[in-house]
Amino acid sequence: RRRPCRTRTSGGLFGVVTMPISAITRTWPILQWALASTLFLHTAAAASIQPGAASIVSALTDVKGALGRRYGLTDSTGLQMASLHLLDAEPSTSLYHGLYMTNVGTTWEVRVASSTDLLQWTYIRTLLPNADMPYAHTVASNGWILVAHEQWMNPGSHAPSNLGFKLYYNQSDLIAGRHFNSFVAPLSVGAKSHLEGTPSVYSAELVFRDGYYMVDAEIGFHFNDEQGVDQVAQGKLTSFGPSVVSPGWSASVATGYDAAFVRAGAIGNIGQRDSGVLGGQLVVVQEGNTGHMPPTIWADWRLWLYTPAQGEPLPPTGAGTITMLQPQTDKNSTAFGNPSFKIVPCPSGRSVGAGGDCVFVSFFAFSEGAAPGEAGVVAFYNPAP
């Protein structure tokens, strides 16, 4: 299986839509107009990127000039480290730790691994069976770690796919596999397709409610709609803490955000995303497909930089600016997805960026758009902007 994202049973192929030649002929003028409009809007959005964004774009895309890079990233067992998401660095150790997904036989699992240099990773344990797409977020006020993930509800990683959440007291407990609460959210906007996934955590705050400390979090995720196309949605997880309290969950389609990406050229699937602050600027890195779907056109996956408008909160509303990112690899690969980035201390002996930090970036290079030797997970780090 080449695609570690939305790969439900057959490489992400949910169905095939056909159109007779006569229909194509009738709609061609409309398609031409839509294409021209898309190109214009994308160009306008790209032109409005703030001046300081150049260093952010470079940090996220300069693979061949990076301080360190690796193509086809695997762990010490030789298995692919897809959707690698780093934990916050801890001052008490020089080790980096990351969560990732890998396929064992016919089943996905979430693993945790450690590294001293961000490029060679030692497998520690399987954290979550029959699950994938992990995302970790540290609650700033007390150090609890919220992990969001896709949870397959049938053996062999078969649908339905729900959003799962785990809560850990600290990084040591996470590495040891000891969570103190677990919650699988009921299907919401993806109830008809039975497919929801690629969660990200926009924010998580500690609250004191009904005599307990708990977490309220803003969550991003995608669902497969009635046309078989992935769209971004947003959810609110509330009162997630001690197991004696039942957490709340509500979700809605990110209509404005999705529409903004369609206008920018992502007319197919819009899926996984990551958000954070780079160079003092809040940004979202979003994967999107420029080909009509279904079926999935793997060579058309691209990465995009979303810069929220002034005062725009997360989850994003679509009021911000969007530009396509073009990662510069050694051999000029073109199709990418599954973005992740994290500010961490630079590996020992390497040049450093702002505050002595580096930005670690990973994404997936699809074989249909990858140059020889570059397919699979691409991992690299640059000085922090």
Strands of the sheet with 131-138, listed across from one edge: 131-138, 145-154, 158-168, 181-184
Closest by CA to 229, choosing from 274, 284, 292, is 292
Distance between CA atoms of residues 276 and 147, nearest Å? 16
Q: Kindly report, residue by residue over 72-102, the tens digit of the pLDDT.
A: 999 999 999 999 999 999 888 889 999 999 9
Considering the entire predicted model, what is its pTM?
0.87
DSSP codes of every residue in 12-81: T--------HHHHHHHHHHHHHHHHHHHHHHHHHHHTS-TTHHHHHHHHHB-TTSSEEESS-BBTTS-B-
Q: What confidence score (pLDDT) does residue 254 get?
A: 98
Q: What confidence score (pLDDT) does residue 371 get?
A: 98
Q: Kindly report, residue by residue over 148-170, the tens digit of the pLDDT.
A: 999 999 999 999 999 999 999 99
pLDDT at 213 over 60: yes
Q: What confidence score (pLDDT) does residue 356 get?
A: 85
Q: What confidence score (pLDDT) does residue 353 get?
A: 63
Q: Which two tokens stand for residue 245?
A: 């309290």
On average, the pLDDT of the chain sits at 88
**Percent of the chain at pLDDT exceeding 70:** 85
Q: Kindly report, residue by residue over 125-136, the tens digit of the pLDDT.
A: 999 999 999 999
Please tell me the least confidently modeled range out of 30-34, 86-90, 208-212, 328-332. Answer: 30-34
Closest by CA to 313, choosing from 213, 232, 202, 235, is 202
Q: What confidence score (pLDDT) does residue 52 get?
A: 64
Q: Kindly report, residue by residue over 318-372, the tens digit of the pLDDT.
A: 999 999 999 999 999 999 999 999 999 999 877 676 668 999 999 999 999 999 9
- The confidence band for 177, taking pLDDT boundaries of 50, 70 and 90, is very high
| DSSP SS3 for 248 | strand
| DSSP SS3 for 209 | strand
CA distances from 167 to 66, 77, 256 (A): 34, 27, 30
Q: Kindly report, residue by residue over 227-244, the tens digit of the pLDDT.
A: 999 999 999 999 999 999
